[in-house]
Amino acid sequence: MALVERADRIRALPPYPFAELDRKKAELIRHGVDVISLGIGDPDLPTPDHIIESLSIEARNPVHHQYPSYEGMLRFREAVAAWYKRRFGVTLDPQREVLSLIGSKEGLAHLPLALVNPGDGVLVPSPGYPVYRVASLFAGGVPYTLPLRRENGFLPDLSAVPVDVASKSKLLFINYPNNPTAAVAGLDFFEHAVEFARRHALLICHDAPYTEIYFDSDPPKSILELDGAKEVAIEFHSLSKTYNMTGWRIGFAVGNADAIAALGQVKTNVDSGVFEAVQCAGISALEGDQSCVEQMRRVYAERRAILIQGLENAGLRVSPCRASFYLWVEVPRGKTVEAFVNQLLDAGIVTTPGTGFGKEGDGYIRMAMTVSADRCREVVRRIQRLEF
């Protein structure tokens, strides 16, 4: 027997697709290829100056140099609640209905540990963020796939879930604006989801980090805007995409007080909270001038226009993109996902195969609009030289 033998739960996991993308990108760069990476959803834009300045000041304050509180500074949670009130019209109790996170990914990964027993069902969208399925498996849950299809606007058909599956399930993961499809859900869908959750006594986990990246006059909604939604829903948000703070690792969960308390109980046993100086910077982000967010939207809108027009002129079909910084692009007829991804790699363009988000992602690739407009134009030039 090997000294270090991986647990069964680890051996059963597929490779994390974004780690594999990093490896392939590094290999291309070593061979001297001018690589344009549209693979990972990591903003290339810098964190706004006023947020950085806040961190610089607060990091020098020794009061922040000790362990932070597990649930997050009350001032940060109050800032979250105030932001939710301004943005969505949702009233939150900062003491009971808001929890700080070390990035929303951490909270998403820990939620099933708080609520799912071995054998419990978890309803997971496909294609979808891999953490939903992996976290469910870590908790001993049994994932049930909810296919997201173009003909349904990439919304799950909850009416198609068998009653016996729904009755054994504890969690329903949804994510809008959606990664990877860029689909947006309206309040009518959320209302249907809330009714479904009430009927089957399960909790909705809405992952919503992209609500501030949108391209029309109708901003994306929070599920908590619905009366009574807090009875059956918890929502995850992050400062990563809104304020270009992916490396800062700060996010929050809001909503159902019992779910917040259960998640907090897990966190008290596995982490020690977010560095308070980072939380102070988060307060500056949430309470400060939001023109930086408006400027970010303008930047992504320019990139989106360049890429969509160029891809469609090259004969590629792009799914509607009303929000997020992703494009969900159909693979040319007659090609496999792997063949198309490798063809783009040979041209120095890194993309994510749709199958990295679940088997229902077959036939698509995801492009992240996280390079400059000039690099987007270069992507278009390279693609238009290819034969499909």
Complete domains list, the chain, with CATH: 8-46+291-384 (3.90.1150.10), 49-287 (3.40.640.10)
Which pLDDT value is given to residue 236? Answer: 98
d(CA 291, CA 274): 26
pLDDT for 9:
84
| DSSP label at residue 151 | G
Cα of first residue to Cα of last residue in the chain, in angstroms, is 49
Q: What pLDDT digit, counting tens, does each position of 200-258 carry? A: 999 999 999 999 999 999 999 999 999 999 999 999 999 999 999 999 999 999 999 99
Distance CA 208, CA 242 (A): 11
Pick the closest to residue 240 from 263, 208, 217 (CA basis): 208
Mean pLDDT on 77-81: 98
Residues 139 and 119: their CA atoms lie apart, in Å, by: 9
Spatial contact of 191 and 147, defined as CB atoms under 8 Å apart: no
Label residue 1 by pLDDT band (50, 70, 90). low
Q: What is the pTM assigned to this prediction?
A: 0.95
What is the predicted pLDDT for the residue at 383?
A: 98
Give the separation between CA 96 and CA 255, rounded to whole angstroms. 9
Q: Omega into 143 within 30° of 0, i.e. cis?
A: no
Query: What's the pLDDT at 327?
Result: 98
State yes or no: pLDDT of 2 exceeds 80: no
Q: What is the pLDDT of residues 284-298, one digit of tens each?
A: 999 999 999 999 999
Residue 102 confidence (pLDDT):
97
- Euclidean distance between CA atoms 90 and 82, whole angstroms: 9
122-165 confidence digits (pLDDT tens): 999 999 999 999 999 999 999 999 999 999 999 999 999 999 99
For residues 106 and 274, the answer to whether their CB atoms sit within 8 Å is: no
Q: Is the predicted pLDDT of residue 22 greater than 80, yes or no?
A: no
Instruction: State the average pLDDT over residues 15-19.
Output: 68
Q: What percent of the chain has pLDDT over 90?
A: 90
Place of tokens 């009574």: 228
What's the Cα-to-Cα distance from 177 to each of 16, 29, 146, 184, rounded to whole Å?
A: 22, 32, 16, 5
Tokens of 268: 């008290």
pLDDT (tens digit per residue) in 172-198: 999 999 999 999 999 999 999 999 999
